[in-house]
Chain A
Amino acid sequence: MQSMIRSYSPDEVTVFATACPRNCYSTCSLKVRVAEGRIIGIDPHAANLSGNEGPCIKGLSYIERAESPDRILHPLKRNADGVLNRISWEEAFELISTKLRDYRNKFGPHSILFHAASGMSGLLNTVSTNFWRLFGGVTLTYGNLCWPAGLEATRLTLGANKHNVPWDLENARLIILWGKNPAETNIQEMMPIDKSLEQGGRLIVVDPRRTPSSDRAEILVQIKPGTDAALALGIARELICNDWIDKDFINSYVKGYDEFASSVEAYTPEIVSEICGLPESGIKGLARMIGNTKPMTLVPGFGMQRYSNGGQTIRCLLALQVITGNIGKPGACWHYANLQSYVFDEIKEPESYYPGTEDRSFRREVSVAKLGEDILKLKDPEIKMIWVERGNPLTQNPDSNLILKAYRKADFKVVIEQFMTDTAREADLILPSKNMFEQADIIGSYWNPYVQLKQKIIEPAGEVKPETEIYYELAHRLGFHPEEIKKNIPEPNDKSVNIFLEKYLESYPELSMEELKTGPQLADCHEEIPFADGRFPTPSGKIELLSEEANMRWALDKLPSYDPLQSAPKEFPLQLLSPNSKNRIHSQFNNLQIIKQFEKEAVLYMNPHDAISRGLKNHEMVDMRNDKGDARVKICFDMGIRKTCVVLTNGHWHSDGASPNLFTRGKETDMGHGTAFHDNWVEVKKI
């Protein structure tokens, strides 16, 4: 730590435009100030219209992150007695190529599991799969931890996942944040929301918790988690009964309305009130607002679709937008995911998550939702070696204890990491990983419309080598054909990386490297208000409330339906929610000193009523457990949580006390091969 304020003269400072490549809605554009080869400042980039006021505290903490004393800066190998020793890259490459050859020869390439997650986005990530294809194949994961149930529900209904530009939210006169807390997870979205409110717009929040977002709403609906579909169907029934629907829109653009209308008849306010734990008058009041305030934008969160009924739930919510005609107009939008900036993807999410879309050389039989179970289950060949990059599955995938067992069963684990995460700790070989300033790449966003260049700004720290360079070295050592290497893996220099990226830009003359260097850019195909033309790329060409594909592909009801979760087991009556907080992106940033000052450790938030009835005091250490795992955690009273719900925010490392995934089970969502983390119950007891 410095002891004096260091100031720089203007000619010592260079400013670069870049973008934050994390798995986050906001995908902020940044201006980075550099002096003497160090990052000295992070500033807003005004050209990004969906976040021109700048990044969150995580974005600002890159100054620390780039130079953290805890960073891994050279290869580390675990020796026989379990101690990590520094080794040279030469030794590391030798060790890996020997192991790769051995496993391929003895058990076939499928004995190796390649597991990449969402830690850093970018086009260069395709180099990894290129390498493994040239290697002769590998075992891959399918599915996704995050959002596929909702993506699939939207795809089945509207045909594509795109939404109005973020700043169009200010045109909405009714905004519903349904299970989303942008004040923590997408802070720049609060600006257009604020503008709408200042215009006299209204905000409703549906959430079992009182959140910083709900505090600006005029109605907070504290629903019983997992019953959102029933509430949506109940509202739909009220809308239909009161004739608060858009008949012209339905007649022109909607398939299956009549069937849908008959199916919601059962969801009377009395019944919905019982299911959702809400007052009847509240349900009617909500319907009145939704039916009579236009335009309306519904912003569903991702957490709500991480239940076993997640996809159908999202279809029910989306039906509200559809029957009120709130699609394809300014201020009227289904604001789930906007994949428009992913212009370079051949297959878009969620379909890219499904087995069958990969090269034939791959074996894709490990579900990310059931990582531990599937690794242990695989035969012919069994998994002998695991390669992890851009991810921390031991913290972030469900059922940590089972994953630990599966990992330890494998002979050899390679983990590429910047920090000593729970997963890195299980590695036999840790390779240091680049950070966002150390290699250029091109990224999109699933919220804002921009294609962005993440510039190379500084040289890699210590002995860090970007993944592309690791693969390049290994490809040569493994004797891949030089022509193939040339085609698939850039050489270890900036020029080759640029050429690799520029190839993608060839079909988009409007996106030049030179312009991308100045800031965020729009591709010509971008639509500000998608679906305004009334064209929906579904099988029928209409919005499909009734979807044959829902039945054929996922064996679900053709109509949106409410499929109740299993009821809470008697011995574990508390429903565990694990929402994201402003202090982390999943398990990233968690370890930084400046972030840690705001959130010290994993704390379990409880409604005082539930705590007091268990004889627990505020800030007491308790035993938290279910059939999957147990931990000692400190509880913290929170008056704002619905009774019988407890909250342990997502992303805490096990080394911070407790990751929520100690308690989750490996289970897929009803559609999309997503992960049903949130069907989850625990009990807490006095120690």
Chain B
Amino acid sequence: MDVRSQTTMVFHLDKCIGCHTCSVACKNIWTDREGSEYMWWNNVETKPGTGYPSKWEDQKAYKGGWKLKPDGKITLIQGSKAKALKNIFHNPYMPEITDYYEPYKMSYEELFTSPQGDDQPTARPVSLITGKPMDIKGGPNWDDDLSGTQDFARKDSNLEGVPESEKQALFELERMTMFYLPRMCNHCLNPACVAACPSGAIYKRGEDGVVLINNEKCRGWRMCVSACPYKKAYYNWKDGKSEKCILCFPRLETGQAPACMHTCVGRIRYLGVMLYDADRIEDVSSAIDSDLLSSQMSIYLDPHDPEVIDAAKANGIPDSTLEAAQKSPVYKFVKEWGIALPLHPEFRTVPNLFYVPPLISSMGSVKNGSYKTVGDNLWGSIEESRLPVQYLANLFSNGDTDLIRDILKKLMVVRNTRRLETVGDVDAELLKDQLKETGYTEEIANDIYRLSSLPTMDDRIVIAPAHREEAIEMLEATADNKGRTGFGNAEMPKRIH
């Protein structure tokens, strides 16, 4: 057992209102620079929808992430490094600027000089890249609030495998539903970007697993851009280097929440430590499809298990990090309660952001212009979900609809438990049956309620103080370690000075 620690996040999707404050706060700090205008290290997309960059989930086109070979080993879909090097001057899988969107400003300066007439002059969009007039074709969330548009929702690759009848029902006029999906770098345990970088510039830092690009070493080959299946590595056209979310590590190191989390009005984010067994990364990422998700879930270790604690200490994990792991809100959502799942585990990068699937947009069908949420049986409103369960399964559980149904039931039982207490119009016997089926107790339901509904910032962000003094200085050794993942404290810590 090779215990490492990873700083991770949970997103409670029922709480996300799509206000984009996370994206703007991030942009204000990190990507308000020439060459990075089109980048949104953190973005929020409307689902169903095609997202940013457009159709990023479609690896048939983008060839991001890993695939399982017949010999049971995994390989980057875009090809081995040898092949990638051949393509170094022409990478056919690279997203174009139009796949993101061409950033623009409006030519308001013309309003100062254009003559008065019967009609107001129109300010025209001007490209922030070329400085020339352009037609706006997209934005960071073009389908905002409009999941209903055929151009966006219907092209969502997660609809693959959704039964035709459900798909049609989803698109029935006035029945559309939507939810928001905030996205950022997953700081994966098996990051494709690290593996793909020909310069060895990308590394996963030891103390908290944050994946970083060493700008000194980056040569701008952009293999990380195409290899990342989440399209969360970006190329800065001005300085010719790649860049990505750094989980606001300078803020983390001073005990502050990342900017995106700090400004989250909906309070949907939780930040905490997860311990994992680095020996198992290869196993997990090369598990057969049906075992992939359960295998990933088993890589995260119980921070209360004495064996784990010993192994962690032996690996040089500080006590304060262990303590944070034991109080981790992420661990609770993911492991204890089993209601948060990674996004697209089938990309095999072992991603470390977890999502509590949206119950509200799943509940109930629409009849005569009204949502109907009261079903005819125990879980009626989930069975008649206005959002196909298969769709959520394609996003979060590698297609496992039973698991999604199970989580939706758990979320519903939490609400019903509270509702019996506060409104009283829930059948107590029915609730007992529901609790029994989900394996929850009233106590668990109340714990989930408290952490979902009433948490303070201190409940939501539980991380250990930074131990920069003990951190590995990876910058010098990234090339040696580039084929490996999650190298954490595998080597003895070396002081920077």
A residues neighboring B (CB under 8 Å)? 1-5, 7, 41-44, 51, 53-57, 60-61, 63, 69-70, 76, 82-84, 173, 183-184, 187-188, 190-191, 194-195, 197-202, 210-213, 215-222, 278-279, 281-282, 285, 292-293, 419-420, 422, 425-426, 582, 591, 593-594, 596-601, 605, 607-609, 618-619, 636-640, 642-643, 653-657
| Among listed B18-26, B221-229, B274-282, interface-contacting one | B18-26
Report yes or no: B266 in contact with A609, Cβ–Cβ below 8 A.
Answer: no
Flag whether B440 is at the interface (Cβ < 8 A): no
| Docked complex: B183-217 residues within 8 A CB-CB of A | none
Chain B residues with CB under 8 Å of A51's CB are 265
Residues of A near B364 (CB, < 8 A) are: 218
Measured between beta carbons, the chain B residues less than 8 angstroms from A4 are 33
Choose among A2, A69, A600 the residue with the greatest number of B CB atoms under 10 Å from its CB: A600
Q: Which 10 A-B pairs have the closest CB atoms?
A: A200-B419, A639-B148, A198-B453, A654-B120, A200-B418, A279-B368, A639-B176, A183-B17, A420-B111, A218-B373
Partner of A215, one of B173, B360, B426: B360
Known A-B contacts A61-B24, A183-B19, A195-B454; A637 and B116 likewise in contact (beta carbons under 8 Å): no
Residues of B within 8 A of A654 (CB): 119-120
Q: Are A219 and B423 in contact (CB under 8 A)?
A: no
* Distance, CA A422 to CA B119, complexed state (A): 10
Extra inter-chain contacts (5) besides given A190-B265, A219-B370, A657-B122, CB under 8 Å: A2-B32, A53-B263, A278-B368, A596-B104, A608-B173
Q: Say yes or no: A597 contacts B422, CB within 8 Å.
A: no
Kindly identify which residue among A44, A184, A596 contacts B105, using a CB–CB cutoff of 8 Å. Answer: A596
Q: Which of B32, B105, B144, B238 contacts A598 (CB 8 A)?
A: B144
| Segment with Cβ contacts to A, from B135-143, B284-292, B339-347, B477-485 | B135-143
Judging by beta carbons under 8 Å apart, are A82 and B115 in contact? yes
Could you list some 15 contacts between A and B, CB below 8 A?
A41-B29, A55-B263, A60-B24, A61-B24, A76-B112, A187-B17, A198-B415, A199-B449, A200-B421, A210-B176, A212-B18, A278-B370, A281-B368, A597-B104, A640-B148
Contact A57-B453, Cβ < 8 Å, known A215-B179, A601-B136, A654-B120: no
**A60:B21 contact, CB within 8 angstroms:** yes
Total chain B interface residues with beta-carbon distance under 8 A: 92
In the bound complex, how far is the Cα of B21 from the Cα of A53, in angstroms? 11
Q: Determine the distance from Cα of A285 to Cα of B370 in the docked complex, in whole angstroms.
A: 10
Is residue B35 within 8 Å, beta carbon to beta carbon, of the partner chain? yes
Do residues A212 and B33 form an inter-chain contact, with CB atoms below 8 A?
no
Please, which residues of chain A bring their CB within 8 A of the CB of B119? 654
Given A194-B15, A279-B370, are A655 and B122 also a contact pair (CB < 8 Å)?
yes
Query: A282 CA to B425 CA in the complex, in Å?
Result: 19
Contacts of B123 in A (CB 8 A): 591, 653, 655-656
Q: Chain A residues near B262: list those with CB within 8 A.
A: 43-44, 54
B174 within 8 Å of A (CB atoms): yes
- A183 cross-chain contacts in B, Cβ below 8 A: 17-19
Of B148, B363, B422, which is within 8 A of A201 by CB? B422
The answer, among A3, A222, A636, A638, for a CB contact under 8 Å with B35, is: A3
| Majority secondary structure of chain A interface residues (helix, strand, loop or mixed) | loop
A190-B265, A198-B452 in contact; A2/B34 too (CB < 8 A)?
yes
If over half of B's interface residues share one DSSP class (helix, strand or loop), that class is named, otherwise mixed; here it is loop
B171→A200 contact, CB < 8 A: no
A191 to B268, CA, bound (A): 10
B266 touches A191 (CB 8 A): yes
Tell me whether A5 and B425 are in contact (CB under 8 A). Answer: no
- State whether the Cβ of B93 lies closer than 8 Å to any Cβ in chain A: no
Hey, which chain A residues are within 8 Å of B27, CB to CB?
Answer: 594
B264 within 8 A of A: yes
Query: Considering the chains assembled together, what is the distance between the CA atoms of A218 and B130 in angstroms?
Result: 47
Contacts of B108 on A, CB cut-off 8 Å?
70, 419-420, 591, 655
**Chain A nearest Cβ from B457, distance in angstroms:** 8
Q: Which of A43, A54, A57, A637 contacts B149 (CB under 8 A)?
A: A637
Do B176 and A222 touch (CB < 8 A)? no
Kindly state the separation between the CA atoms of A426 and B179 in the bound complex, as whole angstroms.
43
Does B121 sit at the interface, judged by CB under 8 A?
A: yes
User: Bound complex: CA of A292 vs CA of B424, how far in Å?
Assistant: 11
Residues in chain B near residue A221, CB distance under 8 A = 369-370
Chain B contacts with A in 365-397, Cβ cutoff 8 A: 366, 368-371, 373
- Taking a contact as CB atoms under 8 Å apart, the answer to whether A1 and B140 are in contact is no
Asked whether B294 is an interface residue with its Cβ less than 8 Å from the other chain, the reply is: no
Question: CA separation between A550 and B385, bound complex, in Å?
Answer: 47
Query: CB-nearest residue of chain A relative to B176?
Result: A639
Q: A596-B105, A597-B103, A639-B176 are in contact. Are A191 and B265 (CB under 8 A)?
A: yes
Known contacts A212-B17, A293-B425, A608-B173: does B146 contact A200 (CB below 8 Å)?
Answer: no
Are A199 and B148 touching (Cβ within 8 A)?
Answer: no
Instruction: Kindly report which residue of chain A lies nearest to residue B418, judged by CB atoms.
Output: A200
B176 touches A60 (CB 8 A): no
CB distance from B33 to the nearest CB of A (A): 6
Query: Is B265 a contact partner of A619 (Cβ separation < 8 A)?
Result: no
Given A54-B265, A638-B146, check contact A582 B371 (CB 8 Å): no
Chain A CB within 8 A of B125 CB = yes
A291 to chain B, nearest CB (A): 12
Pick the residue among B101, B109, B266 that contacts A190 (CB under 8 A). B266
User: Does B14 sit at the interface, judged by CB under 8 A?
Assistant: yes
Chain B nearest CB, measured from A165 CB (Å): 17
A292 CA to B173 CA, complexed, in Å: 31
With A1-B32, A3-B33, A637-B150 known as contacts, the answer to whether A56 contacts B418 (CB < 8 A) is no
Interface assignment of B30: CB less than 8 Å from any CB of chain A: yes
Decide if A220 touches B14 in the complex (CB within 8 Å). Answer: no
Q: Which residue of A lies closest to B361 (CB)?
A: A215
- From the candidates A53, A76, A281, A619, name the one contacting B151 in the complex (CB within 8 A): A619
Q: Which listed residue (A54, A199, A212, A598) contacts B263, Cβ 8 A?
A: A54
Is B328's CB within 8 Å of the partner chain A? no
A208 to chain B: closest residue by CB: B369
Is B88 an interface residue when CB atoms closer than 8 A count as contact? no
- Tell me how far the C-beta of A272 lies from the nearest C-beta in chain B, rounded to whole angstroms: 14
Q: How far is the CA of A281 from the CA of B364 in the complex (A)?
A: 17
- Asked if B106 and A605 make an inter-chain contact with CB atoms under 8 angstroms apart, the answer reads no
Q: Nearest B residue to A637 by beta-carbon distance?
A: B149
Residue pair A637, B264 in contact (C-beta under 8 Å): no
What residue of chain A has the Cβ atom nearest to residue B144's Cβ? A598
Cβ distance A166 to chain B, nearest Cβ, rounded Å: 13
Contacting residues, chain A, for B98 (C-beta < 8 A):
none
With A70-B108, A200-B423, A220-B370 known as contacts, the answer to whether A639 contacts B265 (CB < 8 A) is no
Residue B420 at the A interface, CB < 8 A? yes
Say yes or no: B146 contacts A636, CB within 8 Å.
Answer: yes
Question: How far is it, in angstroms, between the C-alpha of A661 and the C-alpha of B257 when the chains are bound?
Answer: 43
Residues of A near B420 (CB, < 8 A) are 200
Is the CB–CB distance between A53 and B149 below 8 Å? Answer: no
A568 to chain B minimum Cβ distance, whole angstroms, is 19
B148 / chain A contacts, CB cutoff of 8 Å: 210, 637-640
Give the one of B24, B109, B151, B373 with max A CB within 10 A.
Answer: B24
Chain B residues numbered 116-165 whose CB sits less than 8 Å from any CB in chain A: 116, 119-123, 125, 136, 139-141, 144-146, 148-151
B178 within 8 A of A: yes
CB neighbours of A3 from chain B (8 A)? 33-35, 238-239
* B120 & A597 in contact (Cβ 8 Å cutoff): no
- Is the Cβ of A191 less than 8 Å from the Cβ of B21? no
Given the known inter-chain contacts A191-B265, A639-B176, please indicate yes or no for A211 contacting B416, CB distance below 8 A.
no
Q: How near does chain B come to A651, taking the closest CB pair, in angstroms?
A: 15
Q: How far is the CA of A419 from the CA of B113 in the complex (A)?
A: 14
A residues in contact with B238, CB < 8 Å: 3
- What residues of B have a CB within 8 angstroms of the CB of A55 in the complex? 21, 263, 265
Give the chain A neighbours of B32 by CB distance below 8 A.
Answer: 1-2
Q: A44-B262, A215-B177, A222-B369 are in contact. Are A57 and B24 (CB under 8 A)?
A: yes
Q: Given the complex of chains A and B, what is the CA–CA distance between A285 and B265 in angstroms?
A: 33
Return chain B residues, CB-CB under 8 Å to A292. Answer: 425
- Select A278's contact among B20, B116, B177, B369, beta carbons within 8 Å: B369
Cα distance, A378 to B151, chains bound together (Å): 51
